[in-house]
Amino acid sequence: MSFAAVLVAAGTGTRAGGAKQWRLLGGKPVARWSLEALLRAGAQEVVVVIGQGQEAEADRALGGLRNWRVVGGGAARADSVQAGLTALVGPDDLPVLVHDAARPLLSPDVIARVLEAVETADGALPALPVADSLRRASRDRLEGSVDRDGVWRAQTPQGFRLGAIRRAYAAWRQDEPPTDEAEVMRAAGGDVRMVAGDPRLMKLTYPEDFTLAEALIPRRIRVGSGFDAHRWGPGGSVWLCGVEIPHDQTLIGHSDADAGLHALTDAILGAIGEGDIGDHFPPTDPKWKGASSDRFLVHAADLVRAKGGRIVNVDVTLICERPKVKPHRQAMRERIAALLDLPLDAVSVKATTTEAMGFTGRGEGLASQALATVETPA
């Protein structure tokens, strides 16, 4: 079914600590979650209603997506909704969904249920039954109970025909602004149906709601591997896994030649499909001459966070005859844990030899391999 949508993103988010629609959730702005869901479901146009002076934020948050445009909102939610409805272009019988940007985890099933209900009703809204006991109180003093029979938790998107909801708003004569569009349509005598809502379609209202919403985002586990090797050369110490170890040789490389951190950086980049260390820090660039490999690893971790992901655990194996790694292994684990902001038990550093075989066995160089497990939004 062809439809259009109004995405209400004009609030100030005072209780959430700021304009929550532009804050990151799972690595992308809250409003983008809803806009993407509406466009994937087939919205021919989405009017995004924003607050005064939020144009730049909207462009940053929603850039790269098609079939959307912004209009300015009003002082109350109802004013913003009407601004969005006025901006829509289409016939009176065009189905239109009105959705709050503060409900980011919008599923295609909810959209489909609302649109199906609008085929035979004047309006539709997703709703959930109230499971908890309800109490009435004055401050912290209990005064009584509220019968929850017939009480539902209303959600969005709410669906209507464009002409009908415009006329219903024009007919609203009460002193107080309406709670939502379903109330407006019902007051105008329309038949409003309820469809099954979604517990994940929670409204972000308070700061702690973001923590819960993060936990509700579907996740996938990705694994990346990395390998690096460097030649031995003259020197008095070697950097391995972020720790400087006194030694009668050093590893030769464009940066500090920390093979352990190089392999681990590649493993993390591989887990998120971001190429390898040379793509981000070309060895032909003189500014990385002698650079600390800490910077490379932190950069990879920052990319994971930018995608809304987190590193679950890492495992590094150093392959060499010398130096002995075991005396320094704990310091290496602690350094990597600090750089990646991981608990110590999520970091493993091991060492092995090749029994005097190959270039590591002959003492020509040192090698390292690494694995990284990363969790990202699905």
10/148 same-domain check = yes
Model pTM? 0.78
pLDDT band at 17 (very low <50, low <70, confident <90, very high): low
159/200 same-domain check = yes
115/227 same-domain check = no
> Cis link prior to 286 (omega < 30° from 0)?
no
Q: Outline where DSSP puts E strands in 94-210.
A: 95-100, 123-129, 134-138, 141-146, 152-154, 158-161, 192-196
Kindly report the CATH number assigned to the domain that includes residue 128.
3.90.550.10
- Look at residue 16 and tell me whether its pLDDT is greater than 90: no
Query: Phi then psi for 210, rounded to 5 degrees?
Result: -65, -35
Is residue 197 classed as helix, strand or coil in its secondary structure? coil
**What is the spatial distance between Cα 200 and Cα 18, in angstroms, rounded to a whole number?**
22
39/118 same-domain check = yes
Residue pLDDT, tens place only, 108-133:
999 999 999 999 999 999 999 998 99
205/223 same-domain check = no
**What is the spatial distance between Cα 209 and Cα 203, in angstroms, rounded to a whole number?**
8
Asked if 288 contacts 253 with a C-beta cutoff of 8 angstroms, the reply is no
Give residue 183's pLDDT.
96
pLDDT band at 18 (very low <50, low <70, confident <90, very high): low
| Residue at a domain's end among 190, 216, 242 | 216
Asked if 49 contacts 84 with a C-beta cutoff of 8 angstroms, the reply is yes
Amino acid at 246: P
| Residue at a domain's end among 154, 182, 216 | 216
183/241 same-domain check = no
131/229 same-domain check = no
Buried b (16+ CB within 10 A) or exposed e, 308-325: bbbbeebbbbbbbeebeb
pLDDT band at 357 (very low <50, low <70, confident <90, very high): very high
| Residue at a domain's end among 184, 216, 248 | 216
Residue pLDDT, tens place only, 254-310:
899 999 999 999 999 999 999 999 999 998 888 888 899 999 999 999 999 989 899
Least confident range of 133-137, 355-359, 361-365: 133-137
Residue pLDDT, tens place only, 186-224:
999 999 999 999 999 999 999 999 999 999 998 999 999
- Look at residue 367 and tell me whether its pLDDT is greater than 90: yes
What percentage of the chain exceeds 70 in pLDDT?
98
28/155 same-domain check = yes
Mark residue 147 as left, alpha or beta (left: phi above 0; alpha: psi -120 to 50; beta: remaining). beta
Give residue 139's pLDDT.
84
Range of the domain at 261: 219-377
Give residue 14's pLDDT.
53
The CA distances from residue 311 to 140, 175, 301, in Å, are 43, 53, 8
**What is the spatial distance between Cα 9 and Cα 50, in angstroms, rounded to a whole number?**
5
Query: How many C-beta atoms lie closer than 10 Å to residue 292's C-beta?
Result: 15
147/260 same-domain check = no
The domain tally of the chain equals 2
Query: Phi then psi for 319, rounded to 5 degrees?
Result: -120, 110
Residue pLDDT, tens place only, 49-76:
999 999 999 999 999 999 999 999 998 9
In the numeric block, the tokens 């495992």 are attached to: 315
Q: If you average pLDDT over every residue of the chain, what do you get?
A: 94
Asked if 42 contacts 2 with a C-beta cutoff of 8 angstroms, the reply is yes
Helix-strand-coil split of the chain, %, nearest 5: 35, 30, 35
Kindly report the CATH number assigned to the domain that includes residue 232.
3.30.1330.50
37/87 same-domain check = yes
183/282 same-domain check = no
The CA distances from residue 168 to 126, 319, 344, in Å, are 20, 73, 60
45/33 same-domain check = yes
